[in-house]
Amino acid sequence: MTLKRQLFIASLLMLLIPWAGLQFVLELDQALRDQAARQLQSQAGRIAEFAADTPDRTAVIEPGTDVIYADILSRPLNLDGYGDDWPGYDEEESRQQWQDTSKDMENEGAQVSWQAAVDQNHLFLLIRVSGRKAVSFDPGNPEQPHDQIQLHFTKGNQSVQRLIRNQAPGSINAVEPGQDGETDYRISGYWQAVSNGYQAELRIPRPDPSGQFGFQVRWPGAKTAIGDSESITTGPDSVKIVTRLPTLERRLGALVAPGQGAWLLEPDGWVIARQARESEQERPEFDSLSPLQILERISLNGLRALVRFYQPEPVPLENDSHRMDADKLPEQGLVRHRDGDTYMLVKQPLDNGRVLVLEESLDQLLALSGSTLGSVIARSVPLITGLMLVLLGYASWLSWRITRLQRAVSASVDDDGRVIGALPPARAKDELGDLSRQFSHMVERLQGYTNYLESFSRRLSHELKTPIAVVRSSLENLSHTTEPADQASYIERARSATDRLSQILQGMSEAARLEQSFDHAEKELFDLADVVSQTTLAYQSLDPDHRIHYSGAAENCRCHGSPELLVQMLDKLVDNARDFTPTGGLIEVRLAPGPKQLELSVFNEGSSLPDNLASDIFSPFVSVRTGHQEGHLGQGLLIVRLIADHHGGQVLATNEPGGVRFTVLLPLQP
pLDDT tens for each residue of 138-168: 888 888 888 899 999 998 888 899 999 888 8
What is the pLDDT averaged over residues 103-123?
Answer: 77
In the sheet with 547-552, reading across from the earlier edge strand, the strands are: 547-552, 586-593, 597-605, 659-667, 650-656
pLDDT: which is higher, 295 or 427: 427
* pLDDT tens by residue, 6-31: 666 766 666 676 677 677 777 877 88
Q: Does the structure show a pLDDT above 80 at 415? A: no
Q: What is the pLDDT of residue 508?
A: 65
The DSSP 8-state label assigned to residue 618 in this structure reads T
Any idea which of 417-431, 482-496, 627-641 has the lowest mean pLDDT?
627-641
What is the pLDDT averaged over residues 36-46?
Answer: 89
pLDDT band for 104, please (50, 70, 90 cuts). very low
What is the pLDDT averaged over residues 95-116?
Answer: 68
The count of other CB atoms within 10 Å of the CB of residue 163 is 18
What is the pLDDT averaged over residues 544-562?
Answer: 87
pLDDT band for 229, please (50, 70, 90 cuts). low
* CA distance between the termini of the chain: 30
Residues counted in the chain: 670
Report the SS3 class of residue 269: coil
Cβ atoms 291, 297 nearer than 8 A: no
Fold of 417-515: Helix Hairpins (1.10.287)
pLDDT band for 619, please (50, 70, 90 cuts). low
The count of other CB atoms within 10 Å of the CB of residue 214 is 20
pLDDT: which is higher, 608 or 386: 608
Q: Which CATH number fits domain 518-667: 3.40.50.2000, 3.30.1520.10, 3.50.50.60, 3.30.565.10?
A: 3.30.565.10
Q: What is the pLDDT of residue 189?
A: 94
The DSSP 8-state label assigned to residue 326 in this structure reads G
pLDDT: which is higher, 558 or 104: 558
* pLDDT tens by residue, 324-342: 888 888 888 888 888 788 8
Distance CA 57, CA 604 (A): 108
Q: Does the structure show a pLDDT above 60 at 303? A: yes
* pLDDT tens by residue, 523-539: 888 888 888 998 888 88
Q: What is the pLDDT of residue 520?
A: 66
Distance CA 235, CA 218 (A): 9
Q: Does the structure show a pLDDT above 70 at 614? A: no
* pLDDT tens by residue, 590-604: 998 888 889 999 999
In 44-85, where do the E strands start and end? 67-72
Q: Does the structure show a pLDDT above 70 at 462? A: no
Q: What is the pLDDT of residue 171?
A: 93
pLDDT band for 321, please (50, 70, 90 cuts). confident
pTM higher than the cut 0.95 = no
Instruction: Count CA within 13 A, CB hemisphere, residue 226.
Output: 2
Fold of 3-58+245-371: Beta-Lactamase (3.30.450)
For residue 462, with 0-12 CB atoms within 10 Å meaning exposed, 13-18 middle and 19 or more buried, which class applies?
exposed
Where b means 16+ CB within 10 Å and e means fewer, 293-304 reads eeebeeebeebb
**What does the domain layout of the chain look like in residue ranges?**
3-58+245-371, 67-138+145-243, 417-515, 518-667
Q: Do domains 67-138+145-243 and 417-515 have the same CATH topology?
A: no
Cβ atoms 494, 474 nearer than 8 A: yes
Instruction: Count CA within 13 A, CB hemisphere, residue 628.
Output: 2
Strand partners, 656: 659
What is the pLDDT averaged over residues 477-501?
Answer: 81
Q: Does the structure show a pLDDT above 70 at 361? A: yes
Q: Does the structure show a pLDDT above 80 at 587? A: yes
Q: What is the pLDDT of residue 172?
A: 92
Q: Percent of the chain beyond pLDDT 90?
A: 11
Query: What value, to the nearest 5°, has the Cα angle with vertex 369 and ends 368 and 370?
Result: 90
Q: Does the structure show a pLDDT above 70 at 278? A: yes
Distance CA 343, CA 240 (A): 33
Fold of 67-138+145-243: Immunoglobulin-like (2.60.40)
The DSSP 8-state label assigned to residue 123 in this structure reads E
Report the SS3 class of residue 264: strand
Q: What is the pLDDT of residue 227?
A: 42
Cβ atoms 208, 225 nearer than 8 A: no
Cβ atoms 259, 277 nearer than 8 A: yes
Cβ atoms 559, 596 nearer than 8 A: no
* pLDDT tens by residue, 49-81: 887 766 655 778 888 888 889 999 988 999 998
Q: Does the structure show a pLDDT above 50 at 224? A: no
Residues near 83 by beta carbon (within 8 Å), at least 6 away in sequence:
89, 96, 115, 126, 199, 201
Distance CA 236, CA 70 (A): 14
Query: What value, to the nearest 5°, has the Cα angle with vertex 653 and ends 651 and 656?
Result: 140
pLDDT band for 127, please (50, 70, 90 cuts). very high
Average pLDDT of the chain, as a whole number: 79
Q: What is the pLDDT of residue 357?
A: 92
Cβ atoms 291, 261 nearer than 8 A: no
Cβ atoms 123, 207 nearer than 8 A: yes
For residue 135, with 0-12 CB atoms within 10 Å meaning exposed, 13-18 middle and 19 or more buried, which class applies?
middle
Q: What is the pLDDT of residue 656?
A: 87
